[in-house]
Chains A and B, each alone.
Chain A
Amino acid sequence: MLLEFKDIHKSFGEVAVLKGIRLALETGSVLGLVGENGAGKSTLMNILGGIVPLSSGKMELSGKVYSPDSPNDAQTNGIAFIHQELNLFPNLSIAENLFIVNFPKKKVMGCHFLDRKTAREKTEKILSQVGLDVSPNMPVANLTAAQRQMVEIAKALSTNPKIVIFDEPTTSLTRHEAQKLFNLIRSLKNEGLAIVFISHNLDDVMQLTDHIAVLRDGELIAHDETTSYTIPTLVNLMIGRDMGDFIPRRDTVTSGETCLEVSGLKAGYIGPLDFSIEKGEVLGFYGLVGAGRSEMIRMVYGLDPMEMGTLRWNGRKMHNLNPVKWIKQGVAFLTENRQDEGLMIDQTIAKNVQLAVLPRYTKSLNRVDYKEVGKRSRAQADAVNTKYQNFTTQVVSTLSGGNQQKVVLAKWLLTKPELLILDEPTKGIDIGAKHEIYTLINALVKSGSSTVLISSEIEELLGLCDRIIVMSEGRISREFKKEEFERSAILEAALHHTEEEVL
């Protein structure tokens, strides 16, 4: 046993995130760590990586008690953590990024100067190990997403780790690039390293790992050899019930009447795109990271400029798009990043929920009718089941991710939208809140509104949508009607013509 987790508990305030995890890592093997968002995977790895301390329990590294007090401490103990968000400085070169803390030095006239030659040689060696053929002096800004990922891995390897944690390493990679990464991980395994591989892509997990541990709601549900699982059994273990009742069914059909029509939308690598959405329809958008779904919808909503394209709303052509106009027309947009764009994170729940409808509730002289708007916003927040202590004084940042998302939803539902655009609405929230959001979407559509749903979770789209448009590299690669829905075909369409690309 290289590393053992012994009865690890972790709580943030009142909330218990990990409830007694017992798990072991072996040298020369790959452990897959799977579970829904909020299951505790990241917390467990953050404890291992020295980012957060554990509440109770202990870790043993090679038989000795291991309790890192900082990421640096974890690193010196041979643990390398490759985060999903890369921690690189694009304004520096690859070599400088690799050695930003422990740069090789040489002494000139009693002063310590950078030893660029040694750094370059070391970098070249590590880069060839990860199969990246670029100059160590290349600024990171000039690299592609996949190359940056490799640099991040090279950085981790430069510390000679015993355990390497990969957190969702493939989200920004094409299939071809991901395969290259897997080969690298296999060769690291053969060199005797212990690897932890966190991914939502169960195909990858099945293909790459030796063991799989399933976490759900902070507990270790299963831990066994990979060969003993299948994807459906994994899914069931992860969510703890059948997908069937996890995503509530809806029997309504679309009206056939078009409400939004987009034609010839284009900017940068995106487009030209043509699509339309009908009244009472849930239109899903699927694609890999970087497929341009968010970029496309941001242009439609007037948040980013487009180069060309026309939009018709209920048959009328829209000019000079901006969010104010859309809100007046009854179109609401829940953005991907609720912390930065969806919420005033340090303001109260009441202020956040009221924000979009304030102009609608005014008395004489344009004064806001706070009594009325307060009543309605509270009713709306309760209707979406937001859990709070005090509606008017509690600050949004004190809520959990799921409840924060409900505040954003309440804000937009209060505007009584004819069309609600949701960009990754269930990202980073727990299963219960997800279920509630699905129910809300269904209720909204039943009342005659339409929804655009952008999501990276294919099950969610399959369960909720009437139609799914799959995007790839800025274009629509295929459109699926409800009767044509098939997991593998949708995935394939998303990977469409990304295969030939080389690293």
Chain B
Amino acid sequence: MKWITNKTVQSLLHHSTFVLFAIVLTVFGLLSQSFFSFQNLINVLTQASSLGIIATGMTFVLLTAGIDLSVGSIMFLAGVISSKMVVAGFPLWMAFSVVLAVGILFGLMNGFLVVRAKIVPFIVTLATFYMGRGLGLFLSETRAINLPDSFLKIGSTQFFGIPFPIIAFVCVVVIGHLLLTKTVFGKQVYAVGHSTLKSKKAGIKVNGILLKAYLICGLCASIGGLVAISQLGAVSPTFGLQSEFMAIAAAVLGGTSLFGGKGTVFPGTLVGVLLVQCIQNGLVMVNADPYLYPLITGGVIFLVVLIDSLRHLQQQKLKRWGIHQK
């Protein structure tokens, strides 16, 4: 039990993400010369944009001590609906509006079931996870849909040399960060995540906060879906699969606690997303066996969740022994 109070171990546990980030960067930097090139940096950011947007939304839900498993399905549904509409000749803006509305609707449904029916978020979103994917498969008749060029143009548009996905990514992160740190809503999200009971006693409208958190998560998922397909050019039946887990992993990697009330969009989730994407990108750069990707990503997630749990256990123990951690 001695090691747990050791200062070095503590600070390593505390900054585990940064330590891992440094290790990953060093390893890939040594293995591949072009890893640190400007072009690769832009690549990593572009590839990270979709995950980053949904992970930002996910952070809000995780902060309330909830979870949203349906984001991958919302992404998929966003892809299917928008591509169907564009292929059928609807204008882009209309397709986008419908997709964003679908994201909001799913978020509201999740939130409503959590708040009103008092069902555990895990179960609620597990149900909407299947419903969303099922609906998408039904609409697409489980066939891949190829997108018209107008769609792909958006993905490759550049402003001042910066690709559109990165700009969308940055915008979402900035807005998410401002919401959490500069508004009453943000502060109340942290309070609700710490304890719904205490929040109610303090006069916070807990249900409203939860509803908004799931709404934001659903909206981010649909935006993330649009950003992703604008780069891919096609919607396959497996599109968005496991994205929810990547998003949760990225948020947790960034220091967001699954127990709620702790975490940030910036720098937290942003760093988590970049870490996940750097691992993916780095493995490609060093020509690793593609079958190894999930194994390595899984290993990293396992490590981080383990660290989160250890950190929590340790704090509980110290608290029981009457030591308050600064």
Q: With A92-B187, A100-B202 in contact, do A269 and B321 touch (Cβ < 8 Å)?
A: yes
The answer to whether B194 and A474 touch across the interface, beta carbons within 8 angstroms, is no
Is B306 an interface position by the 8 A CB rule? no
Query: Once the chains are docked, how many angstroms separate the CA of A295 from the CA of B321?
Result: 7
Using Cβ atoms and an 8 Å threshold, which residues of chain B touch A105? 184
Q: With A91-B261, A268-B322, A290-B322 in contact, do A114 and B194 touch (Cβ < 8 Å)?
A: no
The answer to whether B187 and A304 touch across the interface, beta carbons within 8 angstroms, is no
Using Cβ atoms and an 8 Å threshold, which residues of chain A touch B323? 268-269
Instruction: Give min CB distance, A211 to chain B, whole Å.
Output: 29
The answer to whether A101 and B320 touch across the interface, beta carbons within 8 angstroms, is no
Using Cβ atoms and an 8 Å threshold, which residues of chain B touch A144? 324
Is A458 an interface position by the 8 A CB rule? no
Is B7 an interface position by the 8 A CB rule? no
The answer to whether B201 and A89 touch across the interface, beta carbons within 8 angstroms, is no
In the complex, the chain B residue whose C-beta lies closest to that of A268 is B321
Instruction: Give min CB distance, A57 to chain B, whole Å.
Output: 25
Instruction: Give min CB distance, B312 to chain A, whole Å.
Output: 13
Is A191 an interface position by the 8 A CB rule? no
Query: Once the chains are docked, how many angstroms separate the CA of A307 from the CA of B3?
Result: 12
When each residue 179-193 of chain B gets 1 if its CB lies under 8 Å from chain A and 0 otherwise, what string results? 000111001101101
In the complex, the chain A residue whose C-beta lies closest to that of B205 is A101
Is B116 an interface position by the 8 A CB rule? no
The answer to whether A267 and B198 touch across the interface, beta carbons within 8 angstroms, is no
From 268 to 326 in chain B, residues with beta carbon under 8 angstroms from any chain A beta carbon are 317-318, 320-326
Is B84 an interface position by the 8 A CB rule? no
Instruction: Give min CB distance, A488 to chain B, whole Å.
Output: 27
When each residue 202-225 of chain B gets 1 if its CB lies under 8 Å from chain A and 0 otherwise, what string results? 111000000000000000000000
Is A392 an interface position by the 8 A CB rule? no
Number of interface residues of A (CB under 8 A): 33
Using Cβ atoms and an 8 Å threshold, which residues of chain B touch A295? 320-322
Query: Once the chains are docked, how many angstroms separate the CA of A141 from the CA of B194?
Result: 12
When each residue 239-270 of chain A gets 1 if its CB lies under 8 Å from chain B and 0 otherwise, what string results? 00000000000000000000000000001111
Is B9 an interface position by the 8 A CB rule? no
Is A75 an interface position by the 8 A CB rule? yes
Instruction: Give min CB distance, B259 to chain A, whole Å.
Output: 10
Is B195 an interface position by the 8 A CB rule? yes
Contact of B190 among A91, A112, A270 (CB under 8 A): A91
**A-B contact sample (14 more), CB < 8 A, given A100-B184, A103-B184:** A71-B201, A71-B203, A89-B190, A89-B195, A89-B202, A89-B261, A91-B262, A114-B182, A114-B183, A141-B324, A141-B325, A268-B321, A269-B322, A295-B320
Nearest first, the 6 closest Cβ-Cβ pairs linking A and B are A268-B321, A269-B322, A72-B203, A91-B261, A113-B182, A103-B184
29 contacts between A and B (CB under 8 A): A71-B203, A87-B201, A89-B198, A89-B202, A90-B194, A91-B190, A91-B194, A91-B261, A92-B190, A96-B187, A100-B202, A103-B184, A103-B187, A105-B184, A112-B183, A112-B184, A114-B187, A141-B325, A142-B326, A268-B320, A269-B321, A269-B322, A269-B323, A295-B320, A295-B321, A295-B322, A304-B317, A307-B1, A474-B322
